[in-house]
Amino acid sequence: MNLSSAIRSVLAALIVSCGLSTASLADGGTITLTIYKAGWIIGGSGGGGVLIFHGRAYPLSTGGLDYGLVFGGSKTVLRGRVSNIVQPSDVAGVYGAAGAGLAVGRGARAIVLTNQKGAVLELSGQQVGLMANADLSGLAITLK
Protein backbone atom coordinates (compact mmCIF):
# COMPACT_ATOMS: atom_id res chain seq x y z
CA MET A 1 0.00 0.00 0.00
CA ASN A 2 2.85 2.40 0.67
CA LEU A 3 4.19 1.92 -2.83
CA SER A 4 0.84 2.72 -4.46
CA SER A 5 0.35 5.87 -2.35
CA ALA A 6 3.88 6.99 -3.23
CA ILE A 7 3.11 6.48 -6.93
CA ARG A 8 -0.14 8.44 -6.56
CA SER A 9 1.73 11.27 -4.82
CA VAL A 10 4.34 11.43 -7.58
CA LEU A 11 1.64 11.42 -10.28
CA ALA A 12 -0.29 14.16 -8.48
CA ALA A 13 2.87 16.27 -8.20
CA LEU A 14 3.57 15.83 -11.91
CA ILE A 15 0.03 16.82 -12.86
CA VAL A 16 0.15 19.91 -10.64
CA SER A 17 3.56 20.97 -11.96
CA CYS A 18 2.43 20.55 -15.59
CA GLY A 19 -0.65 22.64 -14.90
CA LEU A 20 1.37 25.37 -13.21
CA SER A 21 3.94 25.48 -15.99
CA THR A 22 1.20 26.01 -18.61
CA ALA A 23 -0.37 28.80 -16.55
CA SER A 24 3.01 30.46 -16.05
CA LEU A 25 3.49 30.53 -19.84
CA ALA A 26 0.31 32.57 -20.37
CA ASP A 27 1.01 35.81 -22.19
CA GLY A 28 -0.85 38.76 -23.65
CA GLY A 29 -1.09 41.16 -26.53
CA THR A 30 -3.10 44.06 -27.87
CA ILE A 31 -6.36 43.92 -29.79
CA THR A 32 -8.45 46.31 -31.89
CA LEU A 33 -12.04 45.48 -32.91
CA THR A 34 -14.51 47.36 -35.10
CA ILE A 35 -18.06 46.14 -34.52
CA TYR A 36 -21.16 47.17 -36.47
CA LYS A 37 -24.43 46.50 -34.63
CA ALA A 38 -28.07 46.86 -35.65
CA GLY A 39 -31.35 45.54 -34.41
CA TRP A 40 -34.97 45.73 -33.44
CA ILE A 41 -35.68 43.37 -30.48
CA ILE A 42 -33.25 40.86 -31.97
CA GLY A 43 -29.99 42.38 -33.14
CA GLY A 44 -26.88 41.28 -34.87
CA SER A 45 -23.31 42.44 -35.01
CA GLY A 46 -20.35 41.85 -37.26
CA GLY A 47 -16.97 43.28 -37.94
CA GLY A 48 -13.31 42.59 -37.69
CA GLY A 49 -10.07 43.55 -36.08
CA VAL A 50 -6.51 42.61 -35.42
CA LEU A 51 -4.59 40.90 -32.61
CA ILE A 52 -0.95 41.89 -32.10
CA PHE A 53 0.83 39.01 -30.37
CA HIS A 54 4.64 38.71 -30.12
CA GLY A 55 5.07 41.39 -32.78
CA ARG A 56 2.86 39.68 -35.39
CA ALA A 57 -0.55 40.84 -36.60
CA TYR A 58 -3.39 38.30 -36.74
CA PRO A 59 -6.60 39.36 -38.53
CA LEU A 60 -9.85 38.64 -36.70
CA SER A 61 -13.51 38.54 -37.63
CA THR A 62 -16.42 39.04 -35.24
CA GLY A 63 -20.09 38.25 -35.25
CA GLY A 64 -22.82 37.99 -32.70
CA LEU A 65 -26.45 38.08 -31.66
CA ASP A 66 -28.32 40.25 -29.16
CA TYR A 67 -31.71 39.54 -27.64
CA GLY A 68 -33.74 41.85 -25.42
CA LEU A 69 -34.49 45.52 -25.84
CA VAL A 70 -32.38 46.37 -28.87
CA PHE A 71 -33.09 49.32 -31.13
CA GLY A 72 -30.95 51.18 -33.63
CA GLY A 73 -27.55 50.86 -35.19
CA SER A 74 -24.01 51.72 -34.20
CA LYS A 75 -20.34 51.38 -35.00
CA THR A 76 -18.00 50.71 -32.09
CA VAL A 77 -14.20 50.79 -32.25
CA LEU A 78 -12.60 49.10 -29.25
CA ARG A 79 -8.93 48.90 -28.36
CA GLY A 80 -7.24 47.23 -25.46
CA ARG A 81 -5.37 44.32 -24.03
CA VAL A 82 -5.87 40.58 -24.21
CA SER A 83 -4.33 38.47 -21.45
CA ASN A 84 -4.09 34.85 -20.35
CA ILE A 85 -3.30 33.44 -23.80
CA VAL A 86 -0.54 31.07 -24.86
CA GLN A 87 -1.08 31.24 -28.62
CA PRO A 88 -3.09 33.52 -30.94
CA SER A 89 -5.88 30.95 -31.39
CA ASP A 90 -6.71 31.27 -27.67
CA VAL A 91 -8.47 34.57 -28.50
CA ALA A 92 -10.94 32.73 -30.73
CA GLY A 93 -14.15 31.79 -28.98
CA VAL A 94 -17.48 32.98 -27.71
CA TYR A 95 -17.72 35.88 -25.28
CA GLY A 96 -21.02 36.57 -23.50
CA ALA A 97 -22.29 39.70 -21.76
CA ALA A 98 -25.40 41.23 -20.29
CA GLY A 99 -25.66 44.96 -20.43
CA ALA A 100 -27.58 48.13 -20.97
CA GLY A 101 -26.70 51.34 -22.70
CA LEU A 102 -27.76 54.30 -24.74
CA ALA A 103 -25.73 55.97 -27.45
CA VAL A 104 -26.93 59.00 -29.35
CA GLY A 105 -24.15 60.37 -31.52
CA ARG A 106 -20.87 59.57 -29.79
CA GLY A 107 -20.42 57.62 -26.58
CA ALA A 108 -17.68 55.86 -24.67
CA ARG A 109 -17.68 52.09 -24.13
CA ALA A 110 -15.62 49.90 -21.82
CA ILE A 111 -16.00 46.17 -21.31
CA VAL A 112 -14.16 43.14 -19.89
CA LEU A 113 -14.94 39.78 -21.50
CA THR A 114 -13.72 36.20 -20.98
CA ASN A 115 -14.06 33.22 -23.33
CA GLN A 116 -14.16 29.48 -22.64
CA LYS A 117 -10.35 29.20 -23.01
CA GLY A 118 -9.77 31.80 -20.29
CA ALA A 119 -8.66 34.64 -22.59
CA VAL A 120 -9.53 38.00 -21.02
CA LEU A 121 -10.28 41.07 -23.16
CA GLU A 122 -10.11 44.50 -21.51
CA LEU A 123 -11.46 46.92 -24.11
CA SER A 124 -12.48 50.55 -24.32
CA GLY A 125 -13.36 52.87 -27.15
CA GLN A 126 -15.96 54.97 -28.94
CA GLN A 127 -19.45 54.06 -30.11
CA VAL A 128 -21.11 56.14 -32.84
CA GLY A 129 -24.76 55.93 -33.85
CA LEU A 130 -28.20 55.62 -32.32
CA MET A 131 -28.46 52.53 -30.13
CA ALA A 132 -30.57 51.71 -27.10
CA ASN A 133 -30.13 48.32 -25.50
CA ALA A 134 -30.87 46.26 -22.41
CA ASP A 135 -29.97 42.81 -23.58
CA LEU A 136 -28.03 39.59 -23.46
CA SER A 137 -25.41 39.44 -26.15
CA GLY A 138 -22.83 37.06 -27.46
CA LEU A 139 -19.77 37.89 -29.50
CA ALA A 140 -17.82 35.25 -31.41
CA ILE A 141 -14.24 36.01 -32.44
CA THR A 142 -12.43 33.90 -35.02
CA LEU A 143 -8.97 34.08 -36.55
CA LYS A 144 -9.13 34.68 -40.31
Residue 47: per-residue pLDDT: 95
Q: By the 8 A CB rule, do 113 and 85 touch?
A: no
pLDDT tens digit string along 69-84? 777 888 989 999 999 9
Please check whether residue 3 lies inside any domain of the structure: no
CATH code, domain with 69:
2.40.128
| Cα dihedral: 52, 87, 97, 107 (round 10) | 0
Q: What percent of the chain has pLDDT over 90?
A: 41
Supply the range of the domain harboring residue 33.
27-143
Please check whether residue 83 lies inside any domain of the structure: yes
Q: By the 8 A CB rule, do 29 and 52 touch?
A: yes
Number of structural domains the chain divides into: 1
Please check whether residue 14 lies inside any domain of the structure: no
Please check whether residue 21 lies inside any domain of the structure: no
Q: By the 8 A CB rule, do 45 and 108 touch?
A: no
Please check whether residue 106 lies inside any domain of the structure: yes
pLDDT tens digit string along 93-139? 998 765 555 566 677 777 888 999 999 999 988 888 887 666 557 78
Picking from 140, 142, 95, 105, the residue whose alpha carbon sits closest to that of residue 126 is: 105
